[in-house]
Amino acid sequence: METIKLNNGIDIPLVGLGTYSLKGDICIKAIMDASDVGYRLFDTASLYDNEGAVGEGLRRSGLKREDYILITKLYPSEYDRAKAAIDQALARLKLDYIDIMMLHHPSYNDLDAYRAIEEAIASGKVKMAGLSCYYRKKIDYFLPHCQTKPVLV
């Protein structure tokens, strides 16, 4: 699978499996099938209500944890309790860490949520941070306030 180097030097596959509409056994099977044909990047979010199935599919795939990249996202309704939401995502996924934790959309309290991701990076719960669905103007405002540069924007 072709990769691209992120701004922190980590290689990430150019193609991954998005799981927005996948639920339950269908999600588990899709993850396993995708891993069988070479996928090593998987994307989910708390909003998708499938993190548990994604984690189960990854465990059943037989892939070693270090051999794939998992992205999940916090939704604005979780930003006020981002630390707990990160722990809940890890519990649903049943993983030791999340590769990339993203903020799903801008919101009035997204800087606080991003700081919680930075703390999770410092503690080893999360490896990298990112932003999803941010407009250029918001990104230009947001980035100077970050200690950890997002790897995906």
**Domain limits, the chain:** 3-145
114 is an active site residue: no
Task: State the DSSP string of 13-78.
Answer: ES--EE-TT--HHHHHHHHHHHHHTT--EEE--GGGT-HHHHHHHHHHHT--GGGSEEEEEE-GGG
Overall pTM surpassing 0.75 (yes/no): yes
CA distances from 142 to 20, 71, 127, 146 (A): 26, 21, 20, 7
pLDDT in tens, the chain (153 residues): 899 999 999 999 999 999 999 999 999 999 999 999 999 999 999 999 999 999 999 999 999 999 999 999 999 999 999 999 999 999 999 999 999 999 999 999 999 999 999 999 999 999 999 999 999 999 999 999 999 999 999
User: According to the model, what pLDDT value does residue 1 have?
Assistant: 82
Angle between helices 51-61 and 82-93 (to 10 degrees): 40
**CB of 143 closer than 8 Å to CB of 106:** no
**Residues paired with residue 102 on neighbouring β-strands, in sequence order:** 73, 130
> Comparing C-alpha atoms, which of 51, 99, 61, 107 is closest to residue 82?
107
Which entry of 48, 79, 114, 134 is annotated as an active-site residue? 48
Residue 58 neighbours by CB distance under 10 Å: 21
In whole angstroms, what is the distance from residue 73 CA to residue 103 CA?
Answer: 5
For the chain, the maximum distance between any two Cα atoms, rounded to a whole number of angstroms, is 42
Question: Which CATH superfamily includes the segment(s) 3-145?
Answer: NADP-dependent oxidoreductase domain (3.20.20.100)
